[in-house]
A = this chain, B = another copy of it.
């Protein structure tokens, strides 16, 4: 059975939207989603707010009850019938994220066993046939096939294969 490693943030969990929420709450400024084109959130705010915004992911609660990326639940519930599915997320950078990420997975992907969840840093440690991720840096030393999941920040990144939605993941694997 082939194995697929699937990232969390910007692939199944909408962490980017948490930036928009917290920024509006802290500064009363509602930034249009379109501004994110080719960039990460801290790059699109006023320069004076940048340092604080960059630290959001380290703050308690940032990863708590994030939105679910459209289609991920349905497609992954089919993928588990044909592939070994592992959720592989670089959570170690954000110690406050660990418990919230695990709770989130148990809530939205209850059919993924704790055996198949990996919190790591450098993803070259992952042994899998495919890796679906929004960051090509994780593909550099990965021995399987990296598949770039489109997110606003990676629109102009050159990588093939790329998938633009969970529908496209389903078309590729099912």
Contact = CB atoms under 8 A, between A and B. Distances in A.
B125 A86 contact: yes
Residue from A88, A95, A115, A143 having most chain B Cβ neighbours under 10 A: A115
Interface in A78-95: 86, 88, 91-93, 95
Given A95-B99, A114-B92, A124 B127 contact: yes
Q: How many copies does the complex hold?
A: 2
Nearest to A117: B92
- Which DSSP category, helix, strand, loop or mixed, fits chain A's interface? mixed
A88 B125 contact: yes
Nearest to A128: B125
A43 interface: no
